[in-house]
Structure 1
Amino acid sequence: MAYVEWRGGTCRVVWNTRKKDERGKWIYDQKGGFTDETAAKNYGLDREAEIRNDDYISRRDGSVTVGEYAKTWVDTLDVGHLRDKAIRSMLRLYIEPRWGETAVADVQPTTYRAWKKQLKALPSVGEKYSEEILTVFSMLMDDAVDDGLRKASPVPKGRKQRRGRYKKKPRERKREMRIEDVHQLACNGLAFWGLDGFVFIWTMATTGMRPAELYALRRVYCHPAWPSSDPLDDPEEPDRDERHAEDVERYGPDLMPALRVQWQHQREDGVLKEFPPKYESRRTLVVPPFLADLLELLLASHDDAYVFRSISGGLLANANVTYYYWRPIAGGREASKDFERIRLGRHQTVVSRRPLPEIPATVYARKRLYLLRHGHKEWIDEAGGEHARIAVETRMGHEVAGVEGLYANVTTAMERRMMDSLQDRFERFARETKWDAATASPSALPDGLAEWWKRQVKSPVEAD
């Protein structure tokens, strides 16, 4: 039974937690600061009722700090290496500085809301990143409840979460991806990067592959060698032998040209490694014939294991494509210039080791490379009901939830319609466009690429 003790002008209430320590003695909990004995007594009786209902959080358990709990909690998460790294960063930079010394049980909804407002006001955080930080904190508090460190999470859920003024979430402004703009990007890529750059741009725009998936694309997973060259080297892929047998019957140079998205390049602890694609979205992508020709041309030009190489011939994932490649390709740059200098007392004329022509800016200047993936979705969606939703979402590496995703399946006819629609789009553009007049192309055609372009502009009768 709870009892009250007076100490000076205030009293405290003491109650038995019904737990014993390592010596076999009862553990008591208490709370002081009361000026009314009845209120103190009632508080103790309420705690005893919680103990009987197995709903009691002891002051000792609740005194664990957020910082102490987070150190153990983060090691229990079963997430990918990039997500693990991001969560640890958010804990270190934003959550622990604010809550690290606060007891888990003392985090109140009002103080959480104040922190949420302050966090979103930070200029270095931004709307989207602040939501990710709050999501991590919400997960932390939910697990603290499950571990018996507090009764309920201080993070509001449901309707309470939406209290306050309505604020429309900002959305990136995008423009329609026009094929002439993609062609200009490819031409810029040809001038700045070489044939790899030209084919890279067209591949991303007509397959919707993520950049890291393109970096890790090996020739054994690419047309024209795939699927007969498939090394079946992913031990975590379910039913890979059965999948490969079906691929051989369905894809190939004489059937439907295709490539296989099996890996992506990411860094773990500073080391570049191959990982399954995001969301484990291994998938096969049929490619239009014009892109199949380009891939054959590119792979015939080198014997490297990876389809796309850096300018120096190394791994593309080591080249920081977004900064060093995409910026000049999308934003343009001046032609290389010689310059004069004095070195060791002698006048020198310095000539660029890799002279480049002027590269014009495109509509993608200061835009993200990832928008080419978004634009591919636009091109597929423009066909309206011609393409089944399951075929579109599977091509993008997404899953269709619910009964629709359970019963639906991507058929050969669906893939062929998708391939034909992309080919028709390019052929219409090619027939109406001369290379030298195509949005001020900055690069002359190499011999092999010139022959490829001639084949595209011929009518079907001429091609035969």
Structure 2
Amino acid sequence: MSRIHQHVHVEWRGGTCRVKWWSGEYLENGRKRYESKGGFTDEEEAIQHGLDKMYEIRHGTHVKNRDGATLMSDWLDDWLAGMDHRHLTERGYRSAIETHIRPYFAKQKASVADIDILAYRAFKKHVHGKMKASSARNVMMIFGMILDDAVPRLIKTSPVERTRRRGKFTKKPKERKKDMTPEAVEQLARNARTVFGESGYVFLWTMAATGMRPAELFGLTREYCYPNWPSSDPRAEPDEFERYEEDAERYGKGGDLMPAIRVERQVQYSDSELQFFPPKYDSHRALVVPPFLAEMLEGLLSSHGHNWVFPAMQGGSLGAVNFDYRYWRPIADGAKKRTGPRTRKARPAIPPVPSFAGKRLYLVRHGHKAWLDEDGHSKFAVESRMGHEVPGVEGLYSSVTVPMERAIMKTMQERWDGLQERLSREKS
């Protein structure tokens, strides 16, 4: 073995030579840890390879041999263990990995270093051939994050191809929405009453008049709903004592207090069990409700003994059923009359609501935002009510005041009163 460089050595064995270079680390016995590569037939080429590795080590771009041999399956385990996201995000990432990414690369027994640009493109082609474009893009987005996070320990550079916009700008198609009228909400609410009783009627009007997300409504329980809240608040966070006191001075029943709902949590499935989670984006908030809705909520809670404010047909949480299929579609699209001895629950025909037929339940929340904008409420009050973070100076300095909340109650009540007047004229 001949010494070529202080930390680079070559040795010949048979017709090929091996180069060794110091990894920059020490063994437990204090000796230097070396890495090596064999199969060279040209000594100068071997030396240059060793010097290149030393350069990478000095500049922090070197991938150790043992790290470069890490199997993709093992790296996926490490990546999943290091996730720190909200429940739904983690569930989505884990599903994409276990359903699409891991099986593909486990079959090939591929290491992370094996995934070059050609392997990346092959996987992309495989994914796009198995699912619709939006789902495939989501899988590739997650796969890209996994490969990006492998740099520089497992691979020098990520093989992920970045999309570069060239040529004429093409606007992305936007979901078509029709204006949400009080008449449309009333018909949705009546349809919901036909599907799952008075709970359905109040559910639709609560969503339209508060903009709550579906999972927040599914998880709403008595202690966080008017007329019980805020006096019934469990006050589970001792550090929030100031907020609890302010809520008690501002919201409630009677006097100058404003009726309100507290958005404290939502329900989602985790480990095959319906569980409570913080609302999306940690958007805990108090939502004032107009007098007509306050009366509805009080009447609904006195009519049943369930802890859920809006119980499902069988009494459990709406989050535990396939709401879109079993409830929302007949509410929005209409349904035929159900009768006969084999019918589990007879019900009359349900008329469709044209502006919502074939559309998502979430558009009722969008409609609430449009109502607030039409009525001219401040941007900060609107975004706060929707559970959105307001960026910049406006978000830092602004706050939702009592006059802002009373103005929202007033305009929501006016929409209801106007609807009742129009319906009354139609009857007469």
The alpha carbon displacement at 1:139 in A equals: 2.9
Q: Secondary structure at the match of 2:315?
A: coil
Matches within 5 A, 1:193-232: 193-232=196-235
Partner of 1:187: 190
Structure-2 separation of matches of 1:17 and 1:143: 22
The answer to whether the Cα contact below 8 Å between 2:380 and 2:395 also exists between their aligned partners in 1 is yes
The alpha carbon displacement at 1:392 in A equals: 1.1
The alpha carbon displacement at 1:135 in A equals: 3.2
Match of 2:177 among 174, 196, 211: 174
The alpha carbon displacement at 1:3 in A equals: 4.4
Q: 1:202 to 1:104 in 2, by over 3 A?
A: same
Structure-2 separation of matches of 1:130 and 1:334: 37
The answer to whether the Cα contact below 8 Å between 2:18 and 2:40 also exists between their aligned partners in 1 is yes
The answer to whether the Cα contact below 8 Å between 2:308 and 2:316 also exists between their aligned partners in 1 is no
Matches within 5 A, 1:6-25: 13-22=19-28, 25=31
Structure-1 separation of matches of 2:404 and 2:53: 64
Structure-1 separation of matches of 2:326 and 2:180: 23
Structure-2 separation of matches of 1:390 and 1:424: 22
The alpha carbon displacement at 1:418 in A equals: 1.6
What is the letter of the counterpart of residue 208 of structure 2? Answer: A
Deviating more after overlay: 82-91 vs 4-13: 4-13
Match of 1:361 among 331, 352, 362: 352
Q: Secondary structure at the match of 1:30?
A: strand
Structure 2 residue runs of 5 or longer lacking an equivalent are none
TM-score by length of 2: 0.87
Q: 1:79 to 1:427 in 2, by over 3 A?
A: same
Number of positions where the alignment pairs a residue of Structure 1 with one of Structure 2: 416
Q: 1:130 to 1:407 in 2, by over 3 A?
A: farther
Partner of 2:129: 122
Structure-2 separation of matches of 1:337 and 1:275: 40
Match of 2:324 among 322, 325, 331: 322
Give the root-mean-square deviation of aligned CA atoms.
2.7
Percent identity reads 47
Q: 1:284 to 1:35 in 2, by over 3 A?
A: same
The alpha carbon displacement at 1:265 in A equals: 1.6
Partner of 2:334: 332
Structure-1 separation of matches of 2:175 and 2:130: 18
What is the letter of the counterpart of residue 150 of structure 1? Answer: I
- Does structure 1 residue 370 correspond to structure 2 residue 370? no
Q: Secondary structure at the match of 1:337?
A: coil
The alpha carbon displacement at 1:271 in A equals: 1.6
Q: Secondary structure at the match of 2:351?
A: coil
Match of 2:159 among 151, 154, 162: 154
Match of 1:291 among 293, 300, 312: 293
Matches within 5 A, 1:66-145: 66-100=72-106, 101-113=109-121, 115-116=123-124, 118-119=126-127, 121-122=128-129, 124-127=131-134, 129-145=135-151
The alpha carbon displacement at 1:353 in A equals: 4.8
TM-score by length of 1: 0.81
Structure-2 separation of matches of 1:118 and 1:43: 35
Partner of 2:394: 404
Structure-2 separation of matches of 1:16 and 1:312: 69
Partner of 1:260: 262
What is the letter of the counterpart of residue 358 of structure 2? Answer: R
Partner of 1:244: 244
Structure-2 separation of matches of 1:253 and 1:311: 29
- Does structure 1 residue 30 correspond to structure 2 residue 36? yes
Structure-1 separation of matches of 2:74 and 2:22: 27
Render the CA deviation track for 1:391-423: whole Å, top value 9, x for unaligned: 111111111123221111111111111221212
The alpha carbon displacement at 1:51 in A equals: 2.4
The alpha carbon displacement at 1:286 in A equals: 0.8
What is the letter of the counterpart of residue 375 of structure 1? Answer: G
The alpha carbon displacement at 1:64 in A equals: 0.6
What is the letter of the counterpart of residue 133 of structure 2? Answer: G
The alpha carbon displacement at 1:74 in A equals: 0.8
What is the letter of the counterpart of residue 398 of structure 1? Answer: H
Structure-2 separation of matches of 1:106 and 1:118: 17
Render the CA deviation track for 1:422-454: whole Å, top value 9, x for unaligned: 1222222221124986xxxxxxxxxxxxxxxxx
Structure 1 residue runs of 5 or longer lacking an equivalent are 339-349, 438-456, 458-464
What is the letter of the counterpart of residue 334 of structure 2? Answer: G
Structure-2 separation of matches of 1:42 and 1:326: 68
